[in-house]
């Protein structure tokens, strides 16, 4: 049996599982199994949740395991700790290295790599399924490298293809240092979740995507804590009841977090949170979009566990760069738009001090004076 499939294992090919699979630490427990497919696991009833046929369960990833202890240096583990503990996780949307540096400078302890912002920044194009997996991964590698312990939640669109591509996306995101990714139920020719005219795939295809992502995560050698977020865009197409049902199915298939795009009222967000308990719920706030402009405090009071502000950096960038370009065109100088920031001050925001210090500690003399 392929790694990662154990957690969906069924006693008979045509039956839904009637037991759940719990990983065993072989360093402290000897397995008596002679089945090579299950040599690292045992079948048991889970005391943490009610037994239901076909429901994914991996004891290693149970939230209770992340309640105590210092925050991990591994970003995926750290995000699981943040999700298991009190307080809402706030992740500003970043679009490039400059916006990521600014978010870190402001003190944010989680970042969101927005698909729309990445497409706009890297390609100068709208969020209409134009960016590829390579575009997203290359951006993620750069962002995650700026602060390797800071969790980055990354948009993965539809998974960029069938189940093999969904799995490939998980592997490449995890290798890049991404802590979590969300995968959605739009058709491959998708669009920003706050535009009209969306189309979604069937429930079955959506759950197949989620299951492929979970199996891929669980097959990573050493045991990955990578977080899988199930996102549905069906609320605007098929209604809130269908959207909630899809997220329940995604949770049963192994999604760690549920993301309902375009929830239109505080009441609907509260109902969604209640319906999906105990799974944490992510809410996406875009000024002028379908979702009200909840503050972090309001979203937390309504029960959301993660709030992302997808376009906060790239919209601000458009306004700032537009103003600077118009000023330059009109006045012939960039003096006013620079606002007193000289090159060294700019590079200090980009980590100048860290690079100079590294060179000095290594015995280098290249940057004794900058």
Rounded CA-CA distance 233/236 in Å is 7
Angle formed at CA 252 by CA 248 and CA 258, multiple of 5 degrees? 50
**Does the pLDDT of residue 23 top 70, yes or no?**
no
**Does the pLDDT of residue 235 top 90, yes or no?**
yes
**Does the pLDDT of residue 232 top 70, yes or no?**
yes
CATH superfamily of 66-317: Phosphoenolpyruvate-binding domains (3.20.20.60)
Q: What was the pLDDT predicted at 54?
A: 77
**Does the pLDDT of residue 318 top 80, yes or no?**
yes
**Does the pLDDT of residue 31 top 70, yes or no?**
no
Band of the pLDDT at 16, cuts 50, 70, 90?
A: very low
Which residues share a beta bridge with 306? 89, 282
Terminal alpha carbon distance of the chain: 58
Using DSSP bridges, classify how beta strands 180-183 and 152-155 pair: parallel, antiparallel or unpaired.
parallel
CB 39 within 8 Å of CB 30: no
Rounded CA-CA distance 337/324 in Å is 5
Q: What was the pLDDT predicted at 125?
A: 98
Q: What is the DSSP string of 50-100?
A: ---TT----GGG-GGGGSSSSPPSSHHHHHHHHHHSSS-EEEEEE-SHHHH
Residues 290-300: tens digit of each pLDDT: 899 999 999 99
Domain ranges of the chain: 66-317
Closest alpha carbon to 1 in 33, 171, 9: 9
Rounded CA-CA distance 140/172 in Å is 10
Q: What was the pLDDT predicted at 4?
A: 64
Rounded CA-CA distance 10/255 in Å is 19
Residues 82-139: tens digit of each pLDDT: 999 999 999 999 999 999 999 999 999 999 999 999 999 999 999 999 999 999 999 9
- Name every residue whose Cβ is closer than 8 Å to that of residue 304 and which is 6 or more positions away in sequence: 88, 269, 273, 281, 282, 283, 294
**Does the pLDDT of residue 17 top 80, yes or no?**
no
């Amino acid at each position: 049996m392929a790694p990662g499939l154990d957690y969906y294992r069924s006693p008979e090919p045509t039956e839904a599982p009637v037991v759940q699979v719990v990983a065993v630490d072989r360093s402290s427990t000897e397995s008596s199994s002679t089945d090579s497919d299950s040599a690292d696991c045992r079948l048991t009833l889970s005391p943490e949740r009610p037994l239901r046929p076909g429901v994914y369960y991996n004891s290693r990833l149970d939230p209770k395991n992340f309640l105590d202890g210092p925050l991990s240096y591994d970003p995926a583990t750290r995000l699981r700790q943040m999700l298991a503990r009190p307080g809402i996780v706030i992740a500003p949307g970043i679009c490039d290295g400059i916006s990521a540096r600014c978010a870190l400078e402001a003190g944010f302890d989680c970042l969101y790599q927005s698909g729309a912002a990445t497409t706009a920044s890297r390609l100068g194009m709208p969020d209409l399924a134009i960016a590829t997996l390579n575009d997203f991964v290359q951006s993620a590698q750069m962002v995650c490298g700026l602060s390797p312990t800071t969790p980055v939640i990354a948009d993965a669109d539809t998974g960029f293809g069938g189940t093999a591509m969904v799995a490939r996306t998980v592997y490449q995101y995890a290798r890049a240092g991404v802590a979590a990714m969300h995968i959605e139920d739009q058709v491959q020719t998708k669009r920003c979740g706050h535009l009209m005219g969306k189309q979604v795939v069937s429930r079955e295809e959506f759950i197949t995507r989620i299951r492929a992502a979970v199996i891929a995560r669980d097959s990573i050698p050493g045991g990955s804590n990578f977080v899988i977020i199930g996102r549905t865009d069906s609320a605007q197409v098929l209604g809130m009841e269908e959207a909630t049902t899809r997220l329940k199915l995604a949770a049963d298939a192994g999604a760690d977090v549920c993301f309902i795009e375009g929830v239109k009222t505080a009441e609907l967000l509260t109902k969604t949170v209640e319906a999906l308990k105990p799974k944490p719920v992510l809410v996406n706030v875009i000024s002028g979009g379908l979702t009200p402009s909840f503050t972090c405090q309001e979203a937390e009071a309504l029960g959301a566990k993660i709030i992302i502000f997808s376009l906060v950096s790239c919209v601000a960038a458009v306004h700032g760069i537009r103003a600077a370009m118009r000023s330059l065109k009109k006045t012939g100088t960039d003096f006013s738009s620079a606002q007193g920031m000289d090159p060294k001050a700019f590079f200090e925001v980009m980590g100048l001090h860290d690079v100079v210090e590294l060179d000095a500690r290594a015995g280098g003399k290249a940057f004794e004076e900058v």
